[in-house]
Amino acid sequence: MSPLSQQPSPTEQSEAPGPMRQRSRQACLPCRRRKRKCDGKMPCNVCKGYDYECEYDNGTQSAAPLKRPSPLNSSPSQPPKRIARSVHSSTALKQSADSSILPGVIEPSKPRYVGRYSSIAFPLYVGLEVQATNLPRLHSFAYHTGVRKEPTCAVSHKITGHVPWSTARSLLDIYTAVIHPVFGFLDMERIYVLSEKHWHEQPQDMAFEALICGILALASLFSDFLDQESETWIVSHAKEILEDVVISRFPTLETIAAWILRTIYIRSTGRPHVAWLCSCTIMHLVEAAGLHHAPEFIMQAIGNLAPNPEIADIINRTAQVANCVHILVAFEYGRSIMTFNRQTIQNNDTTPRGAGVTSQLCNLVATIPTNQGTDDPDVLIPELLSTLDRIITTNVEHDFLILLRADLALGIYRRLRVMEPGLQHGQNDRVISVGTAALSAARRLASLSQPWWNVVGSVFQFACALIVMDTPASCEKLSEAMDTLQVIVDRFQTHLAREALSTARQLVKAFLDKKRRGVETLERIVGTTTPEASVPAEESQLLHDIASLSPSLAAQLPIDLDYLWAMDFQPPI
């Protein structure tokens, strides 16, 4: 069970003990308004039973109802107030209307986040406004006519019957060693414990089964530990769970994590459009669970969990990686990028887990501009050039991130080529530098048979960029890029790798044909202006002139006569 799914029932939440007064001399404000007997506690029994916002007049109750500050009320001068069903009173809503963070509503028992202006939340706001005795629950009242019954859950636990525990444990080890260092958003110690329970007659919920399926599928992809048929079944089983209408109603942290793993797998094995759709689903789930707000808001609102730095870190890290995966897929594919709170991928050094490869991944993705509000080249080109500088200077250590850095630099280069075809050679040289580093990284990953999604793609895109640059420096690196592509093809022996190599060779051949046509054109020009028969005589006269002007130069013959033809031996006037 995830931190977001381990939640007390509404009854348990209402019975949580609060600070108590020794003696009661005055009733709380809700009991006074409703003329009910108040026991003077904070909160009192009446407010607990009806989920009222229990508060007293100033000076009658000194205990603070909630120790953690609520980000829904950004005013530091006002003490936080207990939120009935995680919803502010009308006064608090008005006070927070001008806040930079627009507060929404999170239902503790789901969890489920909706915007403050949602039709689902409005009946509850109305109940607060009219001070109703029984507040309407956060529910989709009158959402449709209800002429059809909702389907029941159509999936069940199957993974333990298809994969023995010994195999699952080995795949967990592979995932922890290979993939987790890059996408470090899971608590692997906890995953090991829950997995062992799951395989030994203590089944976890279906969201956890989808999560463990994602882990096993990726580990198998990077190790060939399972046959392809078994791996495909695991992926399909996770898909059935994640797309079930009952499971998807409750976007727990495990659900979001399982979708992240599914997106990584689809990006590594599927089509660009499908990967982009999966990444968009992640972002929708992030919003649905309220992870796009600050972690302390989630901690306060969902389940009233006690402050726990480790759980807060997992929540924040999940939001970070979700953002990163979506932005990477959308940016590379040229599709729309969904953005909520950029703070989730910028504040990645606040916990012990913040240091390492995952932090470098977040820093690298944070360089990408996600605002798409203008198409003005005068604005975009300087921004892209600045982004290119940030990408190149971002320090990364893992070979996958070295390839990823080249991917992002090439993505900026492609955009600059569209808006400014005459790109300066200085920009080309910087792209060549990160691309050259990616060639070595691709060779190392290929030698380990690790099919990161950009092992082939980075090298292929770099070769295409070198061809279109058409400079001496790019032509010099083109040979190394093609050799690297050949090494990768020899290692993986897949259709897509061979297709990339074949396409790159066709482009190189077309590039060579273009060069030859240019040379032939120049040769025709030389042939029409200088008769072929007279060339030897003129060359002989030129050599005689050189010998008379500079005996030392004549001693170095033969020399490049084509170069000498372009020289001006006359002194400047």
Helices (H), 96-164: 122-129, 159-162
Q: Averaging pLDDT over each range in 339-343, 346-350, 569-573, which range is the top one?
A: 339-343
Calculate the average pLDDT of the chain: 77
For residues 211 and 209, give the distance between their C-alpha atoms in angstroms, rounded to a whole number: 5
Of residues 354 and 235, which shows the higher confidence score? 235
Instruction: Give me the pLDDT at residue 313, please.
Output: 80
Q: Per residue in 237-248, pLDDT tens?
A: 999 999 999 888
Of residues 308 and 88, which shows the higher confidence score? 308
Instruction: Give me the pLDDT at residue 10, please.
Output: 38
Instruction: Give me the pLDDT at residue 75, please.
Output: 37
For residues 334 and 486, give the distance between their C-alpha atoms in angstroms, rounded to a whole number: 28
How confident is residue 353, by pLDDT bands cut at 50, 70 and 90? very low
Q: Per residue in 460-517, pLDDT tens?
A: 999 999 999 988 999 999 999 999 999 999 999 999 999 999 999 999 999 999 999 9
| 566, pLDDT greater than 70 | no
Q: Among 350-354, 412-416, 547-551, which is the least confidently predicted range?
A: 350-354
**CA-to-CA separations, 485 to 63, 221, 254, 332, 492, in angstroms, rounded:** 68, 21, 38, 20, 11
Q: Among 6-15, 195-204, 279-288, 375-384, which is the least confidently predicted range?
A: 6-15
Question: What residue segments make up the domains of the chain, in order of their start?
Answer: 541-573
Of residues 212 and 287, which shows the higher confidence score? 212
| 37, pLDDT greater than 70 | yes
Average pLDDT for residues 146-163, to the nearest whole number?
91
Of 384, 426, 435, nearest in space to 405 by CA:
435
For residues 405 and 401, give the distance between their C-alpha atoms in angstroms, rounded to a whole number: 6
Instruction: Give me the pLDDT at residue 545, please.
Output: 54
For residues 261 and 549, give the distance between their C-alpha atoms in angstroms, rounded to a whole number: 75
For residues 390 and 413, give the distance between their C-alpha atoms in angstroms, rounded to a whole number: 13
Query: Which of left, alpha, beta for 120 (phi over 0: left; psi -120 to 50: alpha)?
Result: alpha
For helices 357-365 and 309-333, what crossing angle results, to 10°? 50
In eight-state DSSP terms, residue 508 is: H
Instruction: Give me the pLDDT at residue 565, please.
Output: 42
Are the C-beta atoms of residues 299 and 327 closer than 8 Å to each other?
no
Report the half-sphere exposure of 426 (CA within 13 A, side-chain side).
3
